Amino acid sequence: MLERKKILLVIAAGVCALAAGLWIVGTKSSDKRAESAAAEAAKQTTKQPAQPADHASDTIVVTDQQAKQVRIEPASLHDFVSQRDAVGFVDFNQDTTVQALSTVTGKIRQVFVRAGDDVRKGQPLYSVDSPDLVQALSALISSAGVRAAATRTLERARKMLDIQATAQKDFDQAVADQQTAEGNYQAARDAVRIFGKSEAEMDKTIASRKPNGELIITSPIAGRVVARNAAPGMLVQPGSLPSPITVADISTMWMIANAPEFDIPKIQLGQKVSIQITALPGEKFEGRVTSIGASIDPNTRRIPVRTEVQDATHQLRQQMLATYVIQTGEPIRSVAIPANGIVREGDGTMTLFVTTDGKTFTRRAVRTGQEQKGYIRILEGLSDGEKVATEGAIFLSNAILLQAR
């Protein structure tokens, strides 16, 4: 029995040893297989280098249906004007705008016009009760009476001298008195004339011997009342502002553009100006630069540029907003295409699509210039007469991107 147990133990030990040997052999075999696979992969990597990335083609062929979405136009020559843009406003022509100031101190009695009224030259605007005018008229009436009396005395002295009824010295004194009275009378008329009274009005005052202190202020020009600050009872003084009435000749108006300071070297007197008014779409005004400001606004860094334009129909109003195009050079003739034919790529490159048959389009990089009136100037990359895609150029650009995927 003991012998049998020993035999069984020997057999079990042998089985364990055999299993361990088989496990070791399997492990080594697996390691060798892994090393072999890695080496094979390395060889394959060495034999087959990485393929470069696929770049999108610059040519695309469209179907008949797709071609209907693309409009083709030939490149052509267009004139591009060297110009500067600016914004500004409308103002009255200050050279033909007059402030109807009172020439005397007094109170306004009547106002004859309203803001917006059209007036003629010499038309009454308002009247002022003036104590100074009353005093001047009273002096005129008095001097006229003295002059008349001195004239009569001189006539009597002349007649008496003719009949030897008076002495020569009395006649000479009468002559001197009459000359003095005449001088005082003319001085009084000059004093009243300063107030704006006409000769007829002065003669009427002398005849009635009633001084009227109401001074009528009339319009010095024909135009429109653009400001009214006058009101009955308001005290006015010579030269005091604001003016009771302001009249402007609105047949011409000023257009004042605020141009950036870096445009100053390009702007000169006499250059053509095209003006569009925001409130008057479709209307266009033409003029020339008549004045360039002497200083720059320190806050906006802009300089005023003034243009005078005709406004016979009186459409313009003060402070209307306007856009200005100042022509700063002669037109340049250059190859151009409609602006919608240019595509800005993701890297900033400007491209267009050239075709000869309307089906095959080739993308081409170009250098562009200024854009005017819907056309963009092509500086490099395109010749006159070449056909390009205009409407639908974006479609072709997107189609090329999809083709590359």
| pLDDT at site 46 | 36
Report residue 399's pLDDT band, with 50, 70 and 90 as the boundaries: confident
| pLDDT at site 91 | 93
- Domains 59-79+332-404 and 131-211 equal at CATH topology level: no
Helix, strand, coil percentages in the chain from 3-state DSSP, rounded to 5: 35, 35, 30
Report residue 4's pLDDT band, with 50, 70 and 90 as the boundaries: low
Architecture of domain 131-211: Orthogonal Bundle (1.10)
Inter-residue contact 386 to 371 (CB < 8 Å): no
Report residue 384's pLDDT band, with 50, 70 and 90 as the boundaries: very high
| pLDDT at site 57 | 65
pTM above 0.85, yes or no: no
User: Which residue is listed with tokens 């200083």?
Assistant: 295
Contacts of 110 (CB under 8 A, 6+ apart): 126, 127, 232
Count CB neighbours of 392 within 10 A: 21
Give the pair of three-digit tokens for residue 315.
């459409």
Architecture of domain 250-327: Beta Barrel (2.40)
| pLDDT at site 206 | 87
Give the pair of three-digit tokens for residue 397.
């650009």
User: Which residue is listed with tokens 């003029």?
Assistant: 287
Could you tell me the maximum CA-CA distance found in the chain, to the nearest angstrom?
Answer: 210
Region 278-295: mean pLDDT is 90
Task: Write the pLDDT tens digit of every residue in 82-118.
Answer: 888 889 999 999 999 999 998 888 899 999 999 989 9
* Cα distance between the two ends of the chain: 84
Region 297-324: mean pLDDT is 90
Question: What φ, ψ does residue 6 adopt, rounded to 5°?
Answer: -65, -40
Residue 48 has pLDDT above 50, yes or no: no
The fold of 59-79+332-404 is 2.40.420
| pLDDT at site 80 | 86
Q: Domain residue spans in the chain?
A: 59-79+332-404, 131-211, 250-327
| pLDDT at site 291 | 92
Region 370-397: mean pLDDT is 90
Report residue 31's pLDDT band, with 50, 70 and 90 as the boundaries: very low
Closest CA to 252 of 71, 93, 63: 93
| pLDDT at site 366 | 93
Residue 292 has pLDDT above 70, yes or no: yes
Q: Is the peptide bond prior to 242 cis by the omega test (within 30 degrees of 0)?
A: yes
Report DSSP letters for 15-62, one per residue: HHHHHHHHHHHHHHHHHHHHHHHHHHHHHHHHHSPPPPPPPPPSEEE-
Task: Write the pLDDT tens digit of every residue in 194-235.
Answer: 887 888 888 888 888 888 878 888 999 999 999 999 999 999
